[in-house]
Amino acid sequence: MPLRSPNRGPADIAGPPTSIRRKQRRFPLNAAARGRRDGIARLRKTAIIRPTRRRALAIERPILDLERLRAAPLHRDPFEFIIVEDFLDRAWMAALVADFPRVDGHGSYPLEVLSPGPSMAGLAAELTAPALREAVEEKFGVVLEARPTMITVRGRSDGKDGRAHTDSETKIVTLLLYLNPQWPAETGRLRLLRGPENLADYVAEVPPLAGTMVAFRRSGRSWHGHRAHVGERRVVQLNWVTDAGVVRRETGRHRWSARLKALSPFA
C-alpha cells in the first residue's frame, strides 16, 4: 500500500492588518471566534503550543484529518478495523517527525515520561479530544464517552515484537498512528490476521509510514502482528480502556519497564 511522501512544510499564516484588527475590536466576537480565542487561552495555560506562528498554524490547521477517518470504509472481516492514509495534516508532518521523543529501548513507554516536543504534545491533545472520540464512536458503533484513554509510544523494535496477539480484554478500541518518514523494509509492516497461527494469512498489510493510521475494535478475533524487525519503528498508540484502574496499572507497569530498560540494555 504505497503512500505519497509528504514534502510540504508549514504554511505561512499571517494575521490581519492593524487597521482591520482595530475595526474588529469594535464588534462583538461571534461564536466561532470566541471558540478560537478560548482555545488559545487553554493552549497557553497547558503550554501545549506557545503564542507564536506555530500557534496560528495549530488553530487554523488541526493536526488530525477527521474527514479522512469518517470517509474510511469499516472492514468487518475478520474483525472491525479501518486504515486511514494521510491522517496527519502534511503541514504538521515535519514538526511531528522532528518532535518524536527519543526512545532508546524497545517496548512501550507512556508518552508523558518521554518529554514530547510541542507538536507531539498538540497531537496528544487532539488524540484525547472529544472530536476524535466521537468520530471513532460513530465509525465503530461503540460508546466511549466515559472510557479513559491511554497513550503509549514505541520507538524501536528488537526483533521480538510483532508476534500475533489480539490486545488485552481491558482495551476497547486501539488506534495506531505511525511516524516513520520512510519504510523500505519488508519487515515491520503491520498485518491484520485471520488467526494466530500464520503471519502469512492476513487480510491487509500496512507499511508504518508517517501519517498512516490503523484503528480496530478489540475482540477475540482482532489478531494482528508483523514480521520480526530490528531497528527504529515509530508508532503512537492510543487506547480507550475499560476503567481508570487499567490506566494506573498499565502506566505503572510501563514506567517500571522503562526504568529497567534504562538500567539494563538486555531487559
Q: Which residue ranges form the domains of the chain, and what is each CATH number?
A: 18-60 (no CATH), 66-263 (2.60.120.620)
Lowest mean pLDDT, pick from 42-46, 51-55, 142-146, 262-266: 42-46
Instruction: At 114, give phi and psi (nearest 5°).
Output: -105, 5
pLDDT of residue 231 exceeding 90? yes
The residue type found at 1 is M
In this structure, the strands spanning 171-178 and 213-217 are: antiparallel
pLDDT confidence bin for 249, thresholds 50/70/90: confident
Average pLDDT over residues 42-55: 38
Give the mean pLDDT of the chain: 81
Q: For residue 187, give the C-alpha cell.
A: 519487515
Q: Of 36, 44, 57, which Cα lies nearest the Cα of 119?
A: 57
The residue type found at 35 is G
Spatial neighbors of 160 by CB under 8 A, at least 6 apart, are 106, 228
pLDDT of residue 223 exceeding 60? yes
Instruction: Determine the pLDDT at residue 123.
Output: 97
Q: For residue 231, give the C-alpha cell.
A: 531497528
pLDDT of residue 234 exceeding 70? yes
Instruction: Determine the pLDDT at residue 258.
Output: 58
Q: For residue 79, give the C-alpha cell.
A: 474483525
Decide: 128 and 161 in contact? Cβ < 8 Å: no
CA 48 – CA 229 distance, rounded (Å): 33
| pLDDT tens, residue by residue, 21-47 | 443 433 344 444 444 444 433 433 333
**Partners of residue 237 on adjacent β-strands:** 152, 176
